[in-house]
A and B are shown apart, each in its own frame.
Chain A
C-alpha cells in the first residue's frame, strides 16, 4: 500500500460522504462523524505502517511527487490535525447546529477529508502547478467551512472576507508563478533553483514573480502585511474550522514556503539577498503586528488569532536563517519542528474554548474567570497551553522559539532579534492576562461544566504532549535533522 493511495482514498471517501449525505438526508450525525473519523484514523494507521519507499509510488505520479522526510512529516501532520478537527466538530456539534441551516453539520464531516487530501498532496509538491492545484483544493473547501454557521452574522462576515481576499491572493499567486515561469522557463522547484543559479537569468522579472508568489503564500500563512483577514475570519468561523485554519492551513502554507524558499535561496541564487531581506522584514513585521494588537484583545478567540499571526512571524524568521558553519540546523527542519510543537498548544487552547462554548460560555477573557474553581483540570491544561504559546521553558513552545533565537543570533540579524524579543515580551502580557482571569476569584465561566470523557482525555493528552516535548524533545530529532537540503545542491 503506497502513501499515495491513502491520499486518493481520503479524497474519494470525502466525496462519497458528500453524496451519501445528499441522497440519504436522514442519516444520523453520529454515523457520518463515525465514518469520517474512522476513515481518517484508518488512513493514519495505514500511513504509519505503509511502505515509505519512493519506489512504491505509481509510475505516473513520480514526476511531480517528492517523498522526503519533510513531505512525510507534513502528510502525517495533516492526518493528525484532520482527525482532531473532526473530533472537535463532533464535540462542538450541539452548539454549532444552532447556527447552521436546518441544524445540519454534515458537510463539516466530509469537507475536512478533502482538505486533508489536498494538504497531503501539497506536502509532496515538486512544482508550482501541483502547489497551485493542491492549494486551491484546500482553500476552496475552506471557503465553505468558514461560512458554514450561516445564521451567525460574524460567520457570514468571515466567509465573505475569506472568499474575497482568498480569491485575490490566488490571483496574485498565479501571476507570480507566471512571471517566474517566464523568467526561468521552469515550473519545478529544481528547475527554478538551477535557473536562478545561472547569471544569465534576468533578475528583475524573477524578483517581481517571487514578490507576487510570496505575497500570495503570505496570505495563506497570515504573514504581514497580508494578515488583516485573520482576526475577523478566525473569530467568525466555527471553532473546529478556526483550529483547522490556524494549524492545518498554516502548516500547508509553510511546507510550500519551505520548498519555494529553498529553491529561491539555493547555492548561488541571484535573488538570495533580496528574498532573505523580504523574509526578515516580513517576519519581523508579522511578529510585531501579531503580538502588539493582541495585547488589546478582549476575546480569547481573537487573541488566539493574533497569536497565530505572531507565530507565523517566528516561522518566517526561522525560514530566513539558513544553516551555517556554527549551527547545522536546517531551516526547513526548524520550521517543521516548530509546527509540531505548535499543534498541541494551539489545539489545546481551542479545545478548552470549545468546551466552554458547548457549556454555554462565551469567548471573551472575562468568560474564563474563575475557571480554576469550576474545573481545576481545564484550568491547569489551559495554563499549560498558554505558557507554551508564550514560549515559557519546559514547554514545547519554548523549543521552537529557542531555535529561532539561535538562528537570528547566529546570523547577527539584530533588528529581527529585537522584534522577536519585543513580540515575546508582549506575549507574556496577553497570555498571562488570560491565565490571571482563569485563577481570579470572580466567576464568569459557566456554572456547570460537563466534560465528556473524550474531552478530558484529549485535553490531558495534549497537555502532557506539550510538557514532554518541552522537556524531552528527542523524539522530534529526526525532524530537526530532516535534510531537505537546498534543491540545487542536491542535484
Chain B
C-alpha cells in the first residue's frame, strides 16, 4: 500500500473506528497528526521522487474495472501536495477545536470530509476524483441540519439549500465529465485515467469550439462547487450556519475542489477551452460578480459569521481571475491563494466558533472592547483578518499579487481588455476587503466592552492548532517559494499557446 493511499484511507478508517466505539477525540486528533506528518514527509521526499520525470510522483494504481477503464490510481504533483498539506493542516485544527461534550458525529463528519478532500486531491483517475468529493455531501448535510446554528427550521432550510445546490452542481459536472471522457475515448474503450486522457488530448486535440462548450459545462459544474457568481448563493448561509469544524473544512478545503478540478482536469484536457472568447468573457463576468457584487454584499453584513462567509465567496473571484488569465505566474498565484485562503478562513472560522460559544452573539454592533479581555485571541484574529485583506508578509498577499501581476502582464500582447479591467476591479476588491475586515476588527476588539460582555482568552491547549495556522500564514507569506518550489511542471504549458 502506498503512502498516498494510506493518507486517503486513514481518516475514513478512523471515522469507521469512531462509529464502532473508538475514543472519539484521541482517534481523530491522532489520525489528523499522523496524516499531517505523512504529508510533510511526502513533501520532503517529493524533490527526489519527482526528479527527472514529468507528471505525477508516488504513483500507484489498482484496476477496479477494465472496460470502461477505471482504476483507483493515486499520484501527486506539486499542486496536489500543496492542497493535501492544506487539508491535513486544517483537519488537525478542525478536529482539535471540537469540545469534548460534542457528539461523535462531529469527529466522524470532519474525518469523512477530510478523507473525501484528500481522495479528490490525490487521485489520478477522474472517477475517483469525482467520487471522493461527493463523500462530504451526507456528513455536511447532517451536521448543518442537526447541529447547525440557529433554530431548527433555519438550519434545515440551509442544509437543504447546500445539498440540492451541490448535488445538482455535481450532476452537471458529471454530465460534463462524461462528455469529456467520451470525446477522448480511443477506439471505443473509455478511460478515466488522467495520464491516458492527457496523452490523448495532446495527440488528438478536440476542435476549439467543442473544447469551449465542454469547458463551459465543466465551469458551471465546478463553479457551483466553488460558489462562482451567480451560482454562489448556497455558500454564505451554509458557512454561517454550519458547526465550526464543518465550516472550517468546507470553506477552507473542500471548496477548493472546484478550482482544483478546473486546474487539474478542465484546463489541461481542454487547453484552448478557457480561451474561447465567449467562455472567457462569461468567466470574467462571473468572477467580477464574485469580487464586486459579493464585495458590496460583504461590506453590508451586520454579523461576523455572515461577514466571513460572504468574504469567503468574494475571495474565490481572485483565484478564478488567476485561472482565467492562464499565465504561469497567475496560475501559480492562484494555487498559492487557494492554500492561503484555506488556512486564513479556517483560522477565522475557528475563532468565530469560540466567540459564538463564549458570547452567544456575533452581532457586530453588540461586540466591542474584547482586545483587553483576550489579547492572544485578538492577535490570532488579527493574523487571519490581515491575511484575508492581503497584508504583505502573510500568505494571501503573495498569492494575490502574483494573480494580479500575472493577469496584467497579458497587456502588451493583447489590448487593454476585459482581463485587465478585471484586475483593476480586483484591486478595488482588496480595498473593500480592508474596509469590512478592519471595521469588524475595530468593532470587536477596540473601544470599550458593552456591559456584561466578557470572554476568557484561549488556553494553551486551544492555542496550539491556531498558532499552527497563523504561523503557516506567516511562513508561507515570507517564503512563498517553500510551496511554489513544489510546482515543477509548467502549469501554463499548452494553455497560453491558444489563439486569442
CB pair A477–B134 under 8 Å, yes or no, is no
User: Is B352 an interface residue, CB under 8 A from the partner?
Assistant: no
Q: Known: A376-B19, A409-B179, A435-B142. Contact between A402 and B67, CB under 8 A?
A: no
CB pair A474–B182 under 8 Å, yes or no, is no
B-side interface size class: 35 or more
CB pair B171–A425 under 8 Å, yes or no, is yes
* 0/1 string, A454-486, CB within 8 A of B gives 1: 000000000000000001111001001100000
Checking A326, A435, A474 against B185 with a beta-carbon cut-off of 8 angstroms, the contacting residue is A326
User: Is B42 an interface residue, CB under 8 A from the partner?
Assistant: no
User: Is B471 an interface residue, CB under 8 A from the partner?
Assistant: no
User: Is B188 an interface residue, CB under 8 A from the partner?
Assistant: yes
User: Is A383 an interface residue, CB under 8 A from the partner?
Assistant: yes
CB pair B67–A480 under 8 Å, yes or no, is yes
Q: Known: A328-B67, A328-B188, A383-B138. Contact between A409 and B178, CB under 8 A?
A: yes
**Those of A287-332 within 8 Å (CB) of chain B:** 324-329
CB pair B64–A425 under 8 Å, yes or no, is no
CB pair B134–A425 under 8 Å, yes or no, is no
CB pair B131–A425 under 8 Å, yes or no, is no
User: Is A394 an interface residue, CB under 8 A from the partner?
Assistant: yes
Contacts of A392 in B (CB 8 A): 134, 137-138
Q: Known: A327-B188, A328-B188, A409-B179. Contact between A439 and B142, CB under 8 A?
A: yes
User: Is B380 an interface residue, CB under 8 A from the partner?
Assistant: no
Q: Give Cα A328 to B188, complex, Å.
A: 5
A471 nearest in chain B by CB position: B64
CB pair A326–B182 under 8 Å, yes or no, is yes
CB pair A394–B134 under 8 Å, yes or no, is yes
Q: Known: A327-B188, A432-B138, A439-B146. Contact between A421 and B131, CB under 8 A?
A: no
Contacts of A432 in B (CB 8 A): 138, 141, 163
Q: Known: A424-B171, A435-B138. Contact between A329 and B68, CB under 8 A?
A: yes
CB pair A428–B164 under 8 Å, yes or no, is yes
Q: Known: A325-B188, A428-B167. Contact between A398 and B182, CB under 8 A?
A: no
Q: Smallest Cβ distance from A324 to chain B, in angstroms?
A: 8
Contacts of B64 in A (CB 8 A): 471-474
Q: Give Cα A172 to B24, complex, Å.
A: 61
CB pair A473–B168 under 8 Å, yes or no, is no
Contacts of A477 in B (CB 8 A): 65-67
Q: Give Cα A188 to B168, complex, Å.
A: 44
**Those of B53-100 within 8 Å (CB) of chain A:** 63-68, 70, 72
User: Is B467 an interface residue, CB under 8 A from the partner?
Assistant: no
State how many residues of chain A have any CB contact under 8 Å with chain B.
38
User: Is A198 an interface residue, CB under 8 A from the partner?
Assistant: no
User: Is B135 an interface residue, CB under 8 A from the partner?
Assistant: yes
Contacts of B19 in A (CB 8 A): 376, 380
CB pair A405–B138 under 8 Å, yes or no, is no
**Those of B84-143 within 8 Å (CB) of chain A:** 105, 127, 130-132, 134-135, 137-138, 141-142
Q: Give Cα A398 to B133, complex, Å.
A: 13
B134 nearest in chain A by CB position: A393
Q: Smallest Cβ distance from B95 to chain A, in angstroms?
A: 20
CB pair B65–A327 under 8 Å, yes or no, is no
Contacts of B172 in A (CB 8 A): 421
B179 nearest in chain A by CB position: A409
Contacts of A114 in B (CB 8 A): none
**Those of B141-159 within 8 Å (CB) of chain A:** 141-142, 145-146, 156, 159
CB pair A440–B138 under 8 Å, yes or no, is no
Checking A406, A421, A429 against B182 with a beta-carbon cut-off of 8 angstroms, the contacting residue is A406
B105 nearest in chain A by CB position: A439
**Those of B5-34 within 8 Å (CB) of chain A:** 19
Q: Smallest Cβ distance from B486 to chain A, in angstroms?
A: 29
CB pair A474–B66 under 8 Å, yes or no, is yes
Checking B63, B130, B159 against A474 with a beta-carbon cut-off of 8 angstroms, the contacting residue is B63
Contacts of A387 in B (CB 8 A): 138
A325 nearest in chain B by CB position: B188
Contacts of B159 in A (CB 8 A): 436
CB pair A417–B175 under 8 Å, yes or no, is yes
Contacts of A435 in B (CB 8 A): 138, 141-142
CB pair A327–B182 under 8 Å, yes or no, is yes
Q: Give Cα A327 to B146, complex, Å.
A: 43
CB pair A421–B175 under 8 Å, yes or no, is yes
A429 nearest in chain B by CB position: B164
CB pair B66–A436 under 8 Å, yes or no, is no
Q: Give Cα A440 to B66, complex, Å.
A: 41
Checking B65, B132, B142, B178 against A436 with a beta-carbon cut-off of 8 angstroms, the contacting residue is B142
User: Is A410 an interface residue, CB under 8 A from the partner?
Assistant: yes
Contacts of B135 in A (CB 8 A): 393-394
Q: Smallest Cβ distance from A340 to chain B, in angstroms?
A: 13
CB pair A473–B65 under 8 Å, yes or no, is yes
Q: Smallest Cβ distance from A432 to chain B, in angstroms?
A: 6
Q: Give Cα A348 to B175, complex, Å.
A: 29
Q: Give Cα A432 to B163, complex, Å.
A: 9
Checking B131, B171, B179 against A394 with a beta-carbon cut-off of 8 angstroms, the contacting residue is B131
Q: Which of B64, B68, B135, B138 has the most CB of A within 10 A?
A: B138
User: Is B441 an interface residue, CB under 8 A from the partner?
Assistant: no
CB pair B160–A429 under 8 Å, yes or no, is yes
Q: Give Cα A409 to B137, complex, Å.
A: 25
User: Is B355 an interface residue, CB under 8 A from the partner?
Assistant: no
Contacts of A417 in B (CB 8 A): 175
Q: Give Cα A17 to B156, complex, Å.
A: 53
Q: Give Cα A383 to B105, complex, Å.
A: 14
B183 nearest in chain A by CB position: A326
Q: Give Cα A242 to B478, complex, Å.
A: 66
Q: Smallest Cβ distance from A392 to chain B, in angstroms?
A: 6
CB pair A421–B171 under 8 Å, yes or no, is yes
B104 nearest in chain A by CB position: A376
Q: Give Cα A474 to B65, complex, Å.
A: 5
Q: Which of B134, B167, B185 has the most CB of A within 10 A?
A: B167
Contacts of B171 in A (CB 8 A): 421, 424-425
Q: Give Cα A91 to B216, complex, Å.
A: 53
User: Is B366 an interface residue, CB under 8 A from the partner?
Assistant: no
Contacts of A327 in B (CB 8 A): 68, 182, 185, 188, 190
CB pair A409–B175 under 8 Å, yes or no, is yes
User: Is A441 an interface residue, CB under 8 A from the partner?
Assistant: yes
Q: Give Cα A435 to B159, complex, Å.
A: 13
Interface pairs (23), CB distance under 8 Å: A325-B188, A326-B188, A327-B190, A329-B190, A393-B134, A394-B132, A402-B127, A402-B178, A405-B174, A406-B68, A406-B182, A409-B178, A417-B175, A421-B171, A421-B175, A424-B167, A425-B168, A429-B163, A432-B163, A436-B142, A473-B70, A474-B65, A480-B65
- Besides the known contacts A392-B134, A394-B134, A473-B65, 11 further A-B residue pairs in the complex with CB atoms under 8 A apart: A326-B190, A329-B190, A392-B138, A393-B135, A410-B178, A421-B175, A424-B171, A435-B142, A436-B145, A436-B159, A440-B146
- 10 smallest CB-CB distances across A and B, nearest first, come from A393-B131, A428-B167, A328-B188, A409-B178, A425-B168, A393-B134, A421-B171, A326-B185, A472-B64, A406-B178
Residues of A within 8 A of B (CB): 324-329, 376, 380, 383, 387, 392-394, 398, 402, 405-406, 409-410, 417, 421, 424-425, 428-429, 432, 435-436, 439-441, 471-474, 477, 480-481
